[in-house]
């Protein structure tokens, strides 16, 4: 990177849809980092005082960061749903196994 280019939110925005880009680096970004940077972008936009080009660059960066956060949240939602589905299957198997076991049925009948 040339010394004249800064690596912050005022430089060229990251390509939309690329969850591996932070600023202008190719480092992996965590959800927390993307969320915190997005909050900073929003704060800077709300504070005003930027020229149109700076505002548009920040807006585009914010859109990219929001997409990164959304992908993380979608992935987390899928993981939770998979865990819930697996727990339901395991519970159903326990119920099915209990019903099929004559010793368990006899023990239940004697109560």
Whether the model pTM is above 0.95: no
Q: Per the domain annotation, does 37 fall within a domain?
A: yes
Q: Alpha helices of 26-51 — where are they, by DSSP H?
A: 31-47
For 6-50, how does the pLDDT look when each residue is reduced to its tens digit (9 = 90+)? 334 333 333 334 344 444 443 578 999 999 999 999 999 999 999
Q: Per the domain annotation, does 64 fall within a domain?
A: yes
Number of structural domains the chain divides into: 1
Q: Per the domain annotation, does 4 fall within a domain?
A: no
- Cβ distance 44 to 62 under 8 Å? no
Q: Per the domain annotation, does 25 fall within a domain?
A: no
The residue segments making up the domain with residue 50 are: 31-109
């Amino acid at each position: 990177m040339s010394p004249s280019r800064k690596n912050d939110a005022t430089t060229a925005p990251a390509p939309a849809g690329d969850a591996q880009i932070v600023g202008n680096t190719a480092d992996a970004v965590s959800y927390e980092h993307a969320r915190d940077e997005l909050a900073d972008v929003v704060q800077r936009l709300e504070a005003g005082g930027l020229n149109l080009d700076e505002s548009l660059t920040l807006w585009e960066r914010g859109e990219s960061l929001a997409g990164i956060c959304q992908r993380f949240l979608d992935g987390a939602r899928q993981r939770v749903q998979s865990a819930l589905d697996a727990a339901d299957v395991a519970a159903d198997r326990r119920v099915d196994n209990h019903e099929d076991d004559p010793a368990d049925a006899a023990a239940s009948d004697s109560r």
